[in-house]
Amino acid sequence: MFKIIFLICFFLSSLFSQNITFLTHSTKDKVYIDESKEMRGLKHSGRRSFQVKLIREMMKLVAHKSKIIHDVPYKRGLLIVQREDNIAFFNMARRPHREDLVKWVGPLQVGESFFYTATKFPKIINSIEDSKKLKSICVLNGTSHDTFLVNNGFENIIRNNSYEGCFKMLVHGRVDVAMLSAISLHETLKAANISEDKVQKSFLAYSLDGYLAMSKNIDDSTIKTWQNALDKLKSDGTYDLLMLKYWQSK
């Protein structure tokens, strides 16, 4: 009897999940769209391709019928998942001020965010207060990096529409530092056609995990179903295998 009840609950949760629209961001040159108009990650293309593949594997486990994922600007996705029903948005940093704005599945990844300087134009940063004295800090518009700086009273923020843009400005001396998660450095520099010896890690700003954010109207049983799917992929080794095939470079 218990098994029957469990299967019914799982079926109902999966049925509800079919109405969820999936959004992501910053996938340029990391994914491709197949003949079914489904987004697929390109192998060995970094964090974004890995995340897309990971979400697709989770979709399989929860029997999510539609595999369509839409790319939107980060700031737009952030607003949509908070304001509209039945939305899932990834990757989104889980910060205290966002805790009750959405529901969370994850973490999809764990990472530390640093201030990076150009090797040609080094800057000494030993504290957050030191970084406030810089002329300019480049961040991707609307991200957790942007929010962190604003919430901590920074007035030297330069916003760009891509991390690659920030690092191009950095190595040409147009900004003092750029802010980025360490796990994304390699793929960002590769996309920007910048050799890694042209930048250097300067100061740890904070550590932050990335999540799949879901609209608050989605019931907790559905959230748990998606969380269980992610946990299974981590426990059976699939997560690590996807990291090797999609995140790691050749």
Rounded mean pLDDT of 203-227?
Answer: 94
3-state SS assignment for residue 169: helix
Length, in residues, of the chain: 250
Token pair recorded at residue 187: 């793929």
Question: What are the backbone dihedrals phi and psi of residue 133, each rounded to the nearest 5 degrees, phi first?
Answer: -85, -10
Most confident of 129-133, 147-151, 206-210, 244-248: 129-133
Q: CA-based diameter of the chain, in Å?
A: 69
pLDDT digits (tens, 9 = 90+) for 7-50: 445 444 444 445 999 999 999 999 999 999 999 999 999 889 99
- At residue 187, what is the residue type? E
Instruction: Tell how far CA 17 is from the center of its chain.
Output: 21
d(CA 6, CA 241): 30
The 3 state secondary structure assigned to 203-248 is: EEEEEEEEEEEECCCCCHHHHHHHHHHHHHHHHCCHHHHHHHHHHC
> How confident is the model over 142-181, as pLDDT tens digits?
888 998 899 899 999 999 999 999 999 999 999 999 999 8
For the chain, counts of helices (H) and of strands (E):
9, 10
Res 95: pLDDT:
84
Give the model's confidence band at 85: pLDDT under 50 very low, under 70 low, under 90 confident, else very high: very high
Q: Between the CA of residue 68 and those of 8, 56, 134, 195, what are the distances in Å?
A: 26, 9, 43, 35
pLDDT at 2: 45
The neighbour count for residue 214, using CB atoms within 10 Å, is 24
Tokens of 64: 């999510």
Alpha-carbon 169 to chain mean position: 22
Give the amino acid at 60: K
Look-up of token digits 């990971």? 54
Q: Give ∠ CA 184-81-187 in degrees, rounded to 5.
A: 10
What mean pLDDT do residues 184-204 have?
A: 94
Strand partners, 71: 24
Q: What percent of the chain is predicted at pLDDT more than 70?
A: 92
